Amino acid sequence: MAATDTPLAGKVALTFFFNLMEKWGCSEDEQKVLLGGIGNDAYHKYKRLPEICLCHDLMERISYLMGIHRSLRVIFSNHADCCYQWVIKPNKTPPFYGQSALQLMLSGRTAELAEVRRYLDSVREPPF
pLDDT at 126 over 80: no
**Residue 93 or residue 125, greater confidence:** 93
Report whether pLDDT(128) > 60. Answer: no
Q: Which residues contact 66 (CB under 8 A, 6 or more apart)?
A: 16
User: Residue 125's pLDDT is what?
Assistant: 60
What is the structure's pLDDT at 115?
A: 97
Q: Could you tell me which residue, 12 or 78, shows the higher pLDDT? A: 12
Contact 55, 63 (CB under 8 A): no
Q: How confident is the model at residue 2 (pLDDT cuts 50, 70, 90)?
A: low
Distance CA 87, CA 83 (A): 8
CB atoms within 10 A of CB 126: 5
Q: Mean pLDDT across the stretch 112-125? A: 91
d(CA 94, CA 107): 16
Mean pLDDT computed over every residue of the chain: 93
pTM above 0.75, yes or no: yes
- Residue 34, pLDDT > 90, answer yes
* List of residues 6+ apart from 79 with CB closer than 8 A: none
pLDDT of residue 65: 98
Nearest to 35 by CA among 10, 60, 12, 11: 60
CB 59 within 8 A of CB 4: yes
With 70 as the cut, is the pLDDT of residue 23 above it?
yes
Q: Is the pLDDT confidence value at 3 over 80?
A: no
